[in-house]
């Protein structure tokens, strides 16, 4: 009996030493993977949280309810309602209708996008961070407890084996030792099963890293598809929007290119030029200092705004020809390119410097013929009006020389002067913006 106990003791000790060595290597592996688990859990949890915050729809609700609460859906509804109020006969109404329909389509694409992200990325990240990794960590803690239980059972068995080795306690001690040995073997078996399960989970976790990485690949792919479809929607509606804009004839004329204004309005003579000249022919031909005397700033601003809308109240301004003349000068000066053009600037200067009167006139006519058709028509119209104005120079004091002084800078200037004025205007706007903050 003593020999048997000694043999069993030796065998169990050897087995224990084997397990101890094996467990040492396993512990190193577990420690490395445990650190990896903590890092992956932390990153997955953080990414899940931030990604969830990016979703505009409410998670967990059905698609219909989710769609109604999307900001884009609310915006689309607001635009459609605004279009109904303004009506399709207005440009804003047409724009709101198109934009409202577009925003609704974008909202539907966003809804599909977020549903895919939630299903294929957000939920898997949650399961990884809150279920899979915690389960492995729980298994690791359970294994540590089983190892302690096995060590405790082994210690009790060893102590019992020593006691049973005494001749007086062989029979009683042997029975107790057998019971403790069975308990130790059972505990060791449970520990081994748990260890194998944990090892399998650890290896499985390491092997599935490519699957976890695919979550982020899926995120980028779904985003790319969403933005691609959204861009297609926007690109499909832009031509319609531009077509409505181009077809709308009620466009501002001040500050716009002459050719553009004439093309949109279908006119040969710019509306501000024709409207102002027509009114001045009726009420301003004998007004002293016409084009020289500055008008009221508020009236000039109002008149320019009405001309921009294609509206002209003759009765209101018939008593203030200086405002009409000021509006005409402003239109000419605010053209992006002077009526007499940048290209012909040098030729105009050279022609005006010719000493012989007949040759000077011939040079001016020759340069005039080089003007683009639209510029030539409007320039000729304006010159005819100014010729009539000089017929009343005894009353209005506007001789050809005086007219040239006040209108010349509004008909011809260099591109350098134009750029300098733009820079000055931008600086003034910037200063006004700064002042408005304080």
**pLDDT of 4:** 46
Final residue of a domain: which of 210, 245, 280?
A: 245
Q: What is the pLDDT of residue 203?
A: 81
140 in a domain, yes or no? yes
- Tell me: do 152 and 6 sit in the same domain: yes
Spatial neighbors of 162 by CB under 8 A, at least 6 apart, are: none
Q: Is residue 92 part of a domain?
A: yes
378 near 258, Cβ under 8 Å? yes
Domain-located, residue 252: no
Residue 39 lies in a domain: yes
Residue 317 within any structural domain of the chain:
yes
Same domain? 48 vs 86: yes
What's the domain count of the chain? 2
Same domain, 157 and 291: no
CATH code assigned at 66: 1.20.1270.60
Q: Residue 229: its pLDDT value, please?
A: 95
Helices 373-390 and 271-283 pack at an angle, to 10 degrees, of 10
Q: Give exposure, 123-162, as e/b (b: 16+ Cβ within 10 Å).
A: ebbbebbeebbeebbebbeebeebbebbeebbebbbebbe
The CATH number of whichever domain residue 386 belongs to comes to: 1.10.555.10
Identify the domain boundary among 187, 222, 245: 245
Q: In terms of domains, do 108 and 200 share one?
A: yes
Domain final residue, candidates 245, 280, 315: 245
User: Do 118 and 75 share a domain, yes or no?
Assistant: yes
Is position 250 within any domain? no
Half-sphere exposure of residue 333: CA atoms within 13 angstroms, side-chain side: 16
CA-to-CA separations, 340 to 114, 272, 355, in angstroms, rounded: 58, 17, 21
Do 140 and 223 fall into the same domain? yes
Q: Note whether 324 and 236 are same-domain residues.
A: no
On whether both 303 and 411 belong to a single domain, the answer is yes
Name 349's Cβ contacts closer than 8 Å, sequence gap at least 6.
none
Q: Tell whether 389 and 411 lie within a shared domain.
A: yes
Q: CA 97 from chain center: how many Å?
A: 22
What would the two tokens of residue 30 be? 């577990």
Alpha helices of 295-368 — where are they, by DSSP H? 297-308, 314-317, 321-333, 345-352, 357-368
Q: Indicate if 297 and 179 belong to the same structural domain.
A: no
pLDDT (0 to 100) of residue 430: 58
Q: Do 222 and 281 have their domain in common?
A: no
**Which of the residues in the chain have pLDDT under 50?**
1-2, 4-5, 8, 17
CA dist 196 to 135, 199, 207, 269, Å? 15, 5, 16, 93
Q: Report the run of H or E that residue 407 belongs to, with start and end.
A: helix 400-411
Output the pLDDT for position 121: 92
> Token pair of 322, please?
């200086």
Domain contains 87: yes
Residue 393 lies in a domain: yes
- 238 lies in the same domain as 263: no
What residue numbers bound the domain in which 405 lies? 258-437
């Amino acid at each position: 009996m003593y020999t048997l106990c000694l043999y069993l003791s030796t065998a169990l000790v050897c087995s224990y030493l084997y397990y101890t060595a094996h467990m040492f290597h396993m512990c190193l592996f577990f420690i490395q993977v445990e650190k990896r688990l903590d890092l992956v859990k932390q990153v997955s949890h953080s990414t899940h949280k931030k990604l969830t915050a990016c979703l505009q729809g409410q998670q967990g609700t059905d698609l219909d309810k989710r769609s109604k609460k999307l900001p884009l859906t609310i915006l689309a509804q607001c635009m459609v309602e605004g279009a109904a109020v303004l009506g399709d006969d207005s440009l804003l109404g047409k724009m709101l209708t198109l934009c409202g329909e577009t925003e609704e389509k974008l909202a539907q694409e966003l809804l599909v996008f977020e549903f895919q992200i939630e299903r294929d990325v957000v939920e898997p990240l949650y399961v990884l961070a809150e279920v899979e990794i915690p389960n492995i960590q729980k298994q690791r803690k359970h294994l540590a407890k089983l190892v302690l239980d096995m060590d405790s059972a082994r210690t009790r068995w060893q102590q019992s084996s020593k006691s049973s080795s005494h001749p007086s306690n062989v029979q009683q001690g042997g029975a107790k030792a057998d019971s403790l040995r069975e308990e130790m073997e059972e505990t060791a078996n449970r520990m081994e099963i748990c260890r194998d399960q944990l090892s399998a989970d650890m290896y499985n976790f390491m092997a599935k890293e490519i699957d976890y990485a695919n979550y982020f690949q899926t995120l980028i792919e779904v985003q790319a598809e969403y933005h691609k479809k959204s861009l297609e929607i926007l690109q499909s509606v832009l031509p319609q929007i531009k077509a409505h804009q181009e077809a709308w004839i009620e466009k501002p004329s001040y500050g716009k290119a002459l050719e553009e204004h004439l093309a949109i309005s279908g006119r040969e003579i710019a509306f501000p030029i024709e409207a102002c000249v027509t009114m001045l022919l009726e009420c301003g031909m004998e007004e002293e200092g016409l084009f020289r005397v500055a008008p009221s700033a508020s009236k000039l601003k109002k008149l320019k705004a009405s001309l921009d809308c294609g509206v002209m109240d003759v009765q209101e301004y018939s008593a203030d020809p200086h405002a009409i003349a000021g509006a005409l000068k402003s239109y000419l000066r605010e053209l992006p390119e002077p009526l007499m053009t940048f290209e012909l600037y040098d030729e105009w200067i050279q022609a005006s410097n010719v000493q012989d009167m007949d040759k000077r006139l011939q040079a001016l006519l020759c340069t005039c013929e080089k003007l683009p058709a639209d510029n030539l028509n409007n320039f000729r119209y304006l010159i005819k009006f100014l010729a009539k104005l000089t017929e009343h120079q005894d009353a209005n004091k506007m001789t050809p020389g005086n007219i040239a002084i006040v209108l010349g800078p509004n008909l011809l200037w260099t591109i350098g002067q134009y750029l300098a004025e733009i820079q000055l205007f931008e600086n003034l706007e910037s200063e006004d913006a700064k002042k408005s903050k304080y």
